[in-house]
Amino acid sequence: MPLIDTVFQALAIILEPERLVLLFGGVILGLMVGVIPGLSGVVALAILIPFTYGLDPYAAFALLIGMHAVTTNSDLIPAVLFGVPGTVGAAATVVDGHQMAKNGEAGRAFGAGYAASLIGGLAGALLLAVVIPAIRPLVLHLGSPELLAFAIFGLSMVAVLSGTAPLKGLAGAALGLIIALVGYTPQSGTLRWSFDILYLWDGLPLVPVTLGLFAVPEILEMVSKRSGIAGNRTVADLGIASQWQGFRDVLRNWRLTLRSSWMGTLLGAVPGLGSASIDWIVYGQAQRSTKPPHTFGHGDVRGVIAPEAAVNAKEGGALVPTIAFGVPGGAGMAVLLSAFLLHGMVPGPDMLGEKLDFTYSIVWSLALANIIATVICLSLSGYFARLSLVTPGKLVPLVLAFILIGAYQGTANIGDLYVLVVFGILGWILKQNGWPRPPIMLGFVLGALFEKYMFISVQIFGWGWLLRPIVLLILAGALWVMYKPLKESISAIARDLKGVRGRGIRPAPGALVSFGVIAVLLGLLWTARDWPASAQLVPLTAIAFGLVVTGLNLATELFRPVPQAAAAVAFGGGAGSGSPTGAAVAAPGPAGGPTDTPDAAEARLRSMRALRFIGWLVGYLVLTLLIGLLPTVVVMTFLLTLVEFRERLRTAVIATVLGGGFMWVCFDQVFRVRWPSAALGDLLPGLSRATGLF
């Protein structure tokens, strides 16, 4: 079929009423998510993916792309009104956007941001549409060795994805690869790390692992902070007239808008940069290239236009390496890649060959989502802004219920809930100690493809696959990507070792996590000693690499020199105003012992809240075993709202009735979810499934 026919066939598919409704629903969800910090696009994707099981791939990705593409539209609202970015991509927008709100120009800032976002989103979709036919011939001629090399390159990008913690990122990628190898291996029939648990024979399910790593830690973060993002502030008047003024600003600065859009698109195609970097890069470029530059930071509308255009455009760019090579352009693309595999869409030749209409349906979804989002934002900014006033007590119990039901739909096995809780606790520990989670997800998603391509390449070419020209070029790129971060980390270790002499060492609090990772890797290495060679190849490679980079990371955490003026510094304290080293100094208490600084007391309070909430999660599991998942959702929603968050009884009742009623209708009556069996449910067979209770 000619390419132009495929393009318009994809448009016709997306314009079918059911898929268009799902796209519209995804846009609404994405706009709501963007307003609420903590529920980033990555977290929302993780929550939403399991609810696409019953949909065809076109409908599923209309919903997912519609949601993910527009979170950067509505994150403008809290950034401008309250100076709090809804997502990290709006951090640069805060500088001038919030100042414009203080100057009484919030509506103008919104109009400029929405128009710039629309142009940026369309620019990203256009680049994706143009690049696909250009790279298609190359991708269709790649063999298993080249695809394996691209998988290695994708894993190497975690050194960039991990920011200032490249060693932790590489160790996380190794852990993700190991997690992906759990279960039955088709090459030799060996059961790897299943520990005689039938549930693990088919491997760890994608959905509960994703939700555990991303969604649960963010919920714990919201629980520990216990504050609404807007405090006691009110929502400003956002008239259409003032927003149209912002639209006219974008037209007057059309060169800046287009330049920022194309920069964002191209930077988005570079795996690892992400919106947290792109918005500042483009903001700095706009400040340097426009006159007068000194107005930036004081409410200049151009300081809103440039980052908003770039951050919205980067989604189209990030999809290019994700679709073509299976190399995610960022954390969101890593999660989206898991959705591709979940729906049987393998990036590379498959999506650029016989599934090309599906690929172009993504392009159309991206473009239409941005148009719909702009119209909605212009009309409903004031209503979306009120979402930022919602407190965690009203939000967390309902979001947690969706997470639990979504995780259970992974394989409709009670084991999914155990996996969710275990990986949720793991994700929280990693987050608290500065370990990036996207590399673990990337390793987990690429693990099966990595082993498949490795087995085929070695079987056909032996180790000669390493000498193929394209493979050598890609592997050289992977080494180049890792070289600078690893060099800087090793140099830091050398500097710290010199500083230790004569002054002692001060281990970092996170060193225990590195010790734990090394212990787990050694244990896994011991259990793999009797496997056949074909089943050992990838696991032992991942373990060896993980031990090396985790050992190097441990060295950076152990051999930190004690500052000369830090004799009285509290271990692990925060920044203190009176300490010359920038650390918190413990003041003597009544009995001569140290007392907590305000920062330390607040940190301990947050930790206690998070630990208490983990107890609630365990209670969720126990109660589910007794009375079933759906009634547990109802009971726990009420108890969490009333007891944990201390909301009013009326609020708890309303949340329970509305939330529980919606979930009963949606999941029990409409989707007919097979709920797990429960002890009391088995004892009371007279209650039918139709009651929705057991």
Closest by CA to 107, choosing from 388, 304, 259, is 304
Mean pLDDT of 650-666: 87
**CA triplet 209, 168, 562: central angle to 5 degrees?**
135
Is the pLDDT score of 671 beyond 70? no
pLDDT in tens, 543-575: 999 999 999 888 888 766 544 433 333 223 333
Is the pLDDT score of 121 beyond 70? yes
Identify the pLDDT of residue 345. Answer: 84
* Residue 458 lies inside a defined structural domain of this protein: no
Identify the pLDDT of residue 574. Answer: 33
| Minimum mean pLDDT range among 310-324, 410-424, 673-687 | 673-687
* Residue 559 lies inside a defined structural domain of this protein: no
Contact 145, 277 (CB under 8 A): no
Is the pLDDT score of 144 beyond 90? no
Mean pLDDT of 109-116: 86
Domain boundary (428, 443, 458) is at 443
Mean pLDDT of 658-667: 83
Indicate yes or no: pTM above 0.75.
Answer: no
Report how far apart, in Å, the C-alpha atoms of 102 and of each of 87, 95, 116 are. 21, 11, 21
* Residue 431 lies inside a defined structural domain of this protein: yes
* Residue 502 lies inside a defined structural domain of this protein: no
* Residue 572 lies inside a defined structural domain of this protein: no
Q: What confidence tier does 254 reach under pLDDT thresholds 50, 70, 90?
A: confident
* Residue 374 lies inside a defined structural domain of this protein: yes
Highest mean predicted confidence (pLDDT) among 7-21, 326-340, 589-603, 656-670: 7-21
Contact 637, 655 (CB under 8 A): yes
Q: Which domain holds residue 661?
A: 622-691
Mean pLDDT of 334-338: 80
* Residue 131 lies inside a defined structural domain of this protein: yes
| Minimum mean pLDDT range among 8-22, 323-337, 455-469 | 323-337
pLDDT in tens, 282-317: 887 787 777 776 677 778 888 888 888 888 888 888
pLDDT in tens, 487-546: 877 787 777 666 655 445 566 667 889 999 999 999 999 998 888 888 888 899 899 999
Tokens 């006691």 appear where? 232
* Residue 421 lies inside a defined structural domain of this protein: yes
The rounded radius of gyration (Å) of the Cα atoms in the chain is 26
pLDDT in tens, 18-71: 899 999 988 888 887 776 654 566 777 877 888 787 788 999 999 998 888 887
Report how far apart, in Å, the C-alpha atoms of 168 and of each of 172, 341, 427, 447, 510 are. 6, 26, 13, 18, 11
Domain boundary (416, 443, 470) is at 443
Is the pLDDT score of 385 beyond 70? no
Identify the pLDDT of residue 88. Answer: 58
Please state, in angstroms and rounded to a whole number, the distance separating the CA atoms of residues 204 and 194. 10
pLDDT in tens, 172-191: 989 999 999 998 887 777 88
Contact 192, 457 (CB under 8 A): no
Domain boundary (421, 443, 465) is at 443
Identify the pLDDT of residue 527. Answer: 92
Contact 403, 122 (CB under 8 A): no
Identify the pLDDT of residue 472. Answer: 92
| Minimum mean pLDDT range among 40-44, 324-328, 499-503, 626-630 | 499-503
Identify the pLDDT of residue 163. Answer: 60
Identify the pLDDT of residue 587. Answer: 41
Q: What is the domain count for the chain? A: 2
If one compares 689 and 263, the residue with the highest pLDDT of the two is 263
pLDDT in tens, 425-474: 999 999 888 888 878 877 887 787 788 888 888 888 888 888 888 899 98
